[in-house]
């Protein structure tokens, strides 16, 4: 079922969902299941599975460094199919512009359609680690808006090149990313919102936000989005802070602000176990306020470990 239909069917009740990361290649999918199992009692209608960009590996050979390009966490679509099959739940593969040609994206979408996957998150992806700015690969998309357009074309039965007779069109429900504190490359929040509106106009059905730790930022973002003419569901993304290093890392990587009270609470912690507890308590307060405000879904970034998300969900669902 589509994410938007799950939201409609909930009749205003806030749903629970979460995002997982594929294991590093060579690792068992069992560890993923071990982290999903404890969360299934909260009845997630859908689970997101991220996609990682390719990266360079340097392998020493005959005294020289040989550069190879590889994906360390492949298998997003396969994992989606495995999870859907095992738990009877909808899954949402993240589809990236970065590192994929339009043809590769088309084949991936065809796989999703055959597998009965009805939702995809359309994302640009970040720059590769050695690049300062995002660069589309030859034959790939530069912005998520273009990827949304390709998926919508497929929904109309329009493939990239082939003149084919289509008797079984896909009908993907498309999610896109939104940034309550603006995307790091955007010159202003207003400009970023215009870009978000372009993604909706291209056919996106719902938005999932970047993490934020101050609900006011989300509420203001939703108001500003409405003023821009964005009328699709805007799902808040919640990340429980887990280690002291997050105080520097999260603002640096995502260009988000952390509230003073949260920083103070984390700084008084003696170890990361205490930080994890502070993160859980903060996320519970955030989630309760968002639930009271009637958000459609509370979507958690689990980062592969579910104990803290379970502790939060137990208080709410
Ligand atoms: P876009 O919407 O294309 O926007 C990127 C930037 O370009 C923005 O600054 C925007 O304002 C600007 N822009 C857009 N259109 C134009 C235009 N026409 N002209 C000029 N500027 C323009 N990354 C991963 O690698 N894998 C994942 O699985 C993943 N999942 C995510 C899930 C969520 C919920 C979120 C919020 C992010 C996720 N990301 C993921 C990170 C995401 O890929 C990065 O934030 C990326 O830098 C931007 O992606 P986007 O889809 O928002 O890009």
Nearest CA owner, ligand 1 atom 37:
177
| 50 CB near ligand 1 (under 6 Å) | yes
Spell out the domains of the chain, with CATH numbers in brackets. 3-314 (3.20.20.220)
| 189 CB near ligand 1 (under 6 Å) | no
Mean of pLDDT values over 291-307: 94
Indicate whether 304 pLDDT > 90.
no
pTM of the model: 0.97
pLDDT in tens, 222-244: 999 999 999 999 999 999 999 99
Nearest CA owner, ligand 1 atom 33:
177
What pLDDT is recorded for position 56?
Answer: 86
Which tokens in the block code for residue 274?
A: 């205490």
pLDDT in tens, 133-172: 999 999 999 999 999 999 999 999 999 997 778 899 999 9
Pick 60 or 148 by higher pLDDT.
148
Best mutation site among 51, 93, 123, 149 for ligand 1, i.e. most ligand atoms within 8 A of its Cβ?
Answer: 123
Of 8, 4, 15, residue with least CA distance to 317: 15
pLDDT in tens, 29-54: 999 999 999 999 999 999 999 999 98
What pLDDT is recorded for position 62?
Answer: 85
> Which ligand 1 atom is the nearest neighbour of the CA of 183?
9
Helix/strand/coil percent split, the chain, to 5? 40, 15, 40
């Amino acid at each position: 079922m589509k994410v938007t239909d799950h939201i409609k069917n909930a009749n205003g009740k806030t749903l629970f969902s979460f995002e997982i990361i594929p294991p590093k290649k060579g690792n068992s999918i069992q560890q993923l299941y071990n982290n999903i199992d404890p969360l299934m009692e909260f009845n997630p209608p859908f689970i997101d599975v991220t996609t990682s960009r390719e990266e360079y590996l340097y392998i020493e050979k005959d005294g020289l460094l040989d550069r190879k390009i590889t994906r360390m966490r492949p298998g997003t679509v396969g994992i989606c199919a495995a999870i859907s099959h095992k738990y009877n739940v909808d899954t949402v593969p993240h589809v990236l512009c970065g590192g994929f040609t339009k043809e590769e994206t088309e084949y991936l979408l065809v796989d999703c359609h055959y597998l009965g996957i009805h939702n995809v998150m359309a994302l640009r992806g970040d720059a590769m680690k050695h690049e300062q700015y995002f660069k589309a690969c030859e034959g790939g998309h530069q912005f998520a808006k273009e990827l949304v357009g390709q998926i919508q074309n497929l929904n109309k039965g329009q493939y990239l090149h082939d003149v084919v007779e289509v008797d079984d069109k896909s009908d993907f429900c498309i999610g896109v990313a939104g940034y309550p504190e603006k995307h790091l490359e955007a010159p202003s929040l207003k400009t970023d919102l215009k870009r978000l509106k372009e993604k909706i106009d291209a056919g996106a059905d719902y938005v999932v936000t970047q993490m934020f730790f101050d609900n006011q930022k989300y509420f203001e973002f939703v108001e500003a989005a409405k003023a821009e003419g964005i009328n699709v569901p805007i799902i808040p993304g919640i990340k429980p802070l887990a280690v002291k290093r997050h105080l520097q890392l999260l603002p640096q990587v995502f260009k988000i602000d952390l509230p003073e009270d949260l920083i103070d609470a984390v700084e008084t912690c003696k170890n990361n176990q205490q930080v994890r507890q502070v993160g859980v308590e903060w996320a519970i307060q955030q989630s309760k306020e968002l639930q009271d405000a009637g958000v459609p879904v509370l979507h958690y970034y689990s980062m592969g470990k579910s104990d803290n998300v379970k502790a939060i969900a137990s208080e709410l669902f």
